[in-house]
Amino acid sequence: MTLSFKKTPAVNQDEKKKKRSVERQSSSNTTATAAGNNQDTYLNGIGSYEFIKSLGSGKFSRVMLAYHLETHQQVAIKIIDKQAHDYRVMSRLVREISIMELLQHDSIVKLYETFESCDSLFLVMEYVPGWNLDEYLQKKSEGALDEHEARHLFRQLVAAVDYCHHKWVVHRDLKTPNILITPDGDVKLADFGLGNRYGLQRLRTICGSMLYYSPEIITGQKYYGPEVDCWCLGITLFRMTAGFEPFSHAHTVGELKRDVCKCNFPMPSTLSPELQATIRKCLQVDRRKRMTIRQVLKDD
């Protein structure tokens, strides 16, 4: 959908001068800027949406909490500066949008609609109040959850990932900041920026976060995709219950690569034997022996 703007009625020269004066004064009093440090054209809202507050910003994008003027539904609108991105990045954004449009699951953040102006792309998404999993864990003593709560959240996450794989989609960036938790304890999987479709042809892009790298990613091997997500689920489950990532003790990239490829990490003795077994099955160096998502669902 492309935005269309109403034509401005003709005004005389005096009115034009007054208008320019008001615009200059308004501009000088305004501190908000758009992504990429361009002057922010969308101070109050866009289309049928009115902005409430900023939810965060990056170098070339920002996210606004907004509500629909007719339905009053709250949404999160991601505003992306098109002019700040090259063709490759914009192509990845198009892929992310197509993936999110495909995925309709209770534990995955929904994309409601997209539209664009000359210089910005707008993604209208489900607003999820609460925290990301990293923030949620930091609120807990020792940065970890008890096993009962961890399993409750983990089951929802695994169900979301299983649904993605059912749709031939791999996330490739499963980590605590990309997992949202509502005050009611519901999980919402977010950020498919590194997601991709998979099939018979293997993938080769090195992506994700280093502490979540699987052996095939960190060594630059080709991979199908689901096995990478399963490894990341094991890292996430460990982080939720141990309070730290299993390979966070590595001081250099070389040490990290060595320990990941040897699966050398300290398993806390406080974790139950059943939980330890699930983690070890997910963190198998040989991906042929690694637990599949369906097996994780049954095992948990």
Interval 38-42 mean pLDDT: 48
Question: Is 21 a residue whose pLDDT tops 70?
Answer: no
Higher-pLDDT residue of 211, 204? 211
How much is the pLDDT for 193? Answer: 87
111: Cβ contacts below 8 Å, ≥ 6 apart: 97, 100, 101, 123, 124, 125, 126
- Give the model's confidence band at 16: pLDDT under 50 very low, under 70 low, under 90 confident, else very high: very low
- pLDDT (tens digit per residue) in 118-167: 888 899 999 999 999 999 999 998 899 999 999 999 999 999 999 999 99
Angle between helices 226-242 and 147-166 (to 10 degrees): 170
Question: Is 236 a residue whose pLDDT tops 90?
Answer: yes
Q: What is the pTM of this model?
A: 0.81
78 is in an annotated binding site: yes
167: Cβ contacts below 8 Å, ≥ 6 apart: 102, 103
Question: Is 22 a residue whose pLDDT tops 60?
Answer: no
Count how many Cα atoms sit within 13 Å of the Cα of residue 110 in the half-sphere of its side chain: 9
Higher-pLDDT residue of 6, 61? 61
Question: Are 241 and 143 in contact, with CB atoms under 8 Å apart?
Answer: no
Active site residues: 173
Question: How do 74-81 and 61-68 pair as beta strands?
Answer: antiparallel
Domains parsed from the chain with CATH numbers: 13-126 (3.30.200.20), 131-299 (1.10.510.10)
- pLDDT (tens digit per residue) in 70-120: 999 999 999 988 877 777 778 888 899 999 999 999 999 999 999 988 888
Counted residue by residue, the chain has a size of: 300
Distance, CA of 251 to chain centre: 26
- Give the model's confidence band at 238: pLDDT under 50 very low, under 70 low, under 90 confident, else very high: very high
Question: Is 242 a residue whose pLDDT tops 80?
Answer: yes
